Amino acid sequence: MDLTIQTISEETEHQVILGGEIDAYTCPKVKERLLSLLEAGATRLTVDLKAVEYMDSTGIGMFVALMKACKRSGCSFFVENLSERVERLFRITGFYDLIAIRKGEEA
Amino acid sequence: MTRRLEEEYVQILRDYLNSQEEDELYGAQKLGKWLLLKDISPEELVDLHSRALESVEEVPEFVRASFRMLTEVMIEYGNAHRSLQSWRNKHAQLQSEVEIASAMQQSLLPQTIPTYPGVEIGVVSIAANGMSGDYYDFMHFSGHRFSLTIGDITGKGIPAAMCMSMLKYAVDSLGEIQLGPNQMLRHLNRVVERNIDPSMFVTMLFGCYDTNHHCFRYAVAGHEPGFLYRAREGKFYDLEGRGIALGISADSTYVEHEVALQTGDVLILLTDGVTESKKGRSYLVREDLVGFLQNEVDKPAQLMADEIYRRLMMLAQFEQRDDYTMIVLRRT
């Protein structure tokens, strides 16, 4: 499965741009990258999903777990630039109102 | 190592040294495969070659010494060979345990599709690989009611299967007290929330069907509710309903919805393996799915479910990436 991860960092603030497919097979790689940033003392993590073509419920589960981990470490966590398809998944599963999601102009 | 094997090796070596023909090397290749099957280690093979050479011709001391060195070098390769063997055995053992677990998991799902008066039900539920994260069940309630559950556990394989057994016991136990759909999900959510990894959750639709009044009361937890086909209009509608998935927050509550079915109306309940199906290189959209449903809606429920699965698989070039479940329920 194709997955791309690009990180733009400014001191302890990181923007992680994901692309391709986020599913049970690629999730561990994303989680590892984001957790390593958190462990290294990140104060702000923003995940950009504009290039994500496919995401399943494993991806949502990973973001929920990350959101909880960030909360514990006092790091702010945002998800931004959701495609229509990914936004629909967040809405159906009920996580749209739980995770801090930033849309176009705010992002 | 048997004497016969040694003799055969000597013979092949002698023939090759005499003729140096390709055919003799083919014999050596075949022998190599056989030695592997007999589990002969690399250092034993070097030793065998050295002894075979001695019996063909007198070997100078420096060649003999070089073989002693090669045997030493080969010991590590021998260790790697043995660890591979042990890994293969462990893999085979794990594989057989997974097969047993998969069969056990199958026993958690309905073995036959139930029949109820005035409705016709069709189901297709197929795991992407071995063990499924999709769950569905029917329970007969007192009198003229039965319940219908369809759910999807995040992830696949062993963790999802373990979670499913917990879910099944919880649904069965709570089913005994015949709770309404929203209460059922509220209680299930507490059970799941206490017993699941933070990165996992369960999406579910739980509903009760009344075969006297033909009304379906349901509640949803993070699950795509599905479709309702109105036979009189010949049109598909999205079922309403939203609620947070089970296992996220202990105090989640759920809203109950109700639809009344007229003769010929059809309920289509599904998991995201259906809606997230691939269409060549892109993904299926709602209109595609509704188009397929529309084409098959006049068929008997089971045939309709089977045909839609077949069509979606063709569209995805027979690559099923997620567990797939579709329940078709028609008021007859």
Q: Which residues of chain B have pLDDT under 70?
A: 1
Would an 8 Å CB–CB cutoff place B256 in contact with chain A?
A: no
Would an 8 Å CB–CB cutoff place B159 in contact with chain A?
A: no
Give phi and psi for B244, each to the nearest 5: -75, 145
Interface of B with A in 165-194 (CB under 8 A): none
Q: Do A56 and B201 touch (CB under 8 A)?
A: no
Q: Cα separation of A107 and A20, whole Å?
A: 20
Q: How many Cβ atoms from other residues are within 10 Å of residue B180's Cβ? A: 15
Q: Cα separation of A32 and B200, whole Å?
A: 17
Q: At what angle do helices B61-106 and B157-176 cross, to 10 degrees?
A: 20
Q: Do B198 and A94 touch (CB under 8 A)?
A: no
Which residue of chain B has the CA closest to A98? B244
Would an 8 Å CB–CB cutoff place A63 in contact with chain B?
A: no
Would an 8 Å CB–CB cutoff place B244 in contact with chain A?
A: yes
Nearest partner of A24 among B136, B127, B105, judged by Cα: B127
Question: What does DSSP say about strands A76-80 and A44-55: parallel, antiparallel, or unpaired?
Answer: parallel
Ordered DSSP codes for B175-236:
HHTT--HHHHHHHHHHHHHHHS-TT--EEEEEEEEETTTTEEEEEEESS---EEEETTTTEE
Interface of A with B in 80-99 (CB under 8 A): 85, 89, 91-95, 98
Contacts of A64 in chain B (CB under 8 A): 198-199, 201, 248
pLDDT at B112: 93
The residues with which B251 forms a beta bridge, in sequence order, are: none
In this model, does residue A88 exceed pLDDT 80? yes
pLDDT at A18: 95
Residues 6 or more apart whose Cβ sits within 8 Å of residue B184: B147, B171, B174, B175, B206, B219
The CA distance from A69 to the nearest CA of chain B, in Å, is 10
Q: Is the dihedral angle over the CA atoms B124, B128, B134, B139 positive or is it negative? A: positive
For chain B, the domains span 3-102, 108-331
A41: its two tokens: 């003392």
Nearest partner of B202 among B239, B166, B174, judged by Cα: B166
Would an 8 Å CB–CB cutoff place B242 in contact with chain A?
A: yes
Q: Cα separation of B323 and A102, whole Å?
A: 31
**CA–CA distance from B186 to each of B180, B247, B275 (Å)?**
10, 10, 26
Q: Cα separation of B67 and B57, whole Å?
A: 15
Q: Cα separation of B133 and B219, whole Å?
A: 20
Q: Cα separation of A46 and A13, whole Å?
A: 8
CATH class of B3-102: mainly alpha
Interface test with A, best of B134, B192, B199, B242 (most A CBs within 10 A): B199
In this model, does residue A104 exceed pLDDT 70? no
Which residue of chain B has the CA closest to A84? B285
Mapped onto helix, strand or coil, the DSSP state of residue B283 is: strand
Region A59-76: what's the mean pLDDT? Answer: 90
Decide if B328 contacts B268 (C-beta within 8 A). yes
Nearest by CB to B198, which of A53, A60, A68? A68
Q: Cα separation of B123 and B301, whole Å?
A: 8
**DSSP label at A106?**
T
pLDDT at A1: 56
Tell me how many residue pairs between chain A and chain B have CB atoms under 8 A apart: 58
Q: Is B89 exposed, middle or buried (0-12, 13-18, 19+ CB in 10 A)?
A: exposed
The residues with which B137 forms a beta bridge, in sequence order, are: B149
Q: Cα separation of A4 and B261, whole Å?
A: 47
B148: its two tokens: 């219908």
In this model, does residue A107 exceed pLDDT 50? no
Give phi and psi for A46, each to the nearest 5: -120, 125
Question: What does DSSP say about strands B145-153 and B202-210: parallel, antiparallel, or unpaired?
Answer: antiparallel
pLDDT at A106: 52
Which residue of chain B has the CA closest to A63? B199
The CA distance from B221 to the nearest CA of chain A, in Å, is 7
Domains of chain A plus CATH, in order, are 3-97 (3.30.750.24)
Q: Cα separation of B151 and B198, whole Å?
A: 18
- The C-alpha angle with vertex B82 and arms to B78 and B87, in degrees rounded to 5, equals 145
pLDDT tens for residues B160-175? 888 999 999 999 999 8
CA A3 to chain centre: 13
Would an 8 Å CB–CB cutoff place B210 in contact with chain A?
A: no
pLDDT at A23: 85
B95: its two tokens: 């594989």
The residues with which A77 forms a beta bridge, in sequence order, are: A45
Contacts of B200 in chain A (CB under 8 A): 61
**DSSP label at B155?**
S
Q: Do B283 and A54 touch (CB under 8 A)?
A: yes
pLDDT tens for residues B294-330? 999 999 999 999 999 999 999 988 888 888 999 999 9
Q: Please state the CATH superfamily assignment of the domain spanning residues B108-331 in this structure.
A: PPM-type phosphatase domain (3.60.40.10)
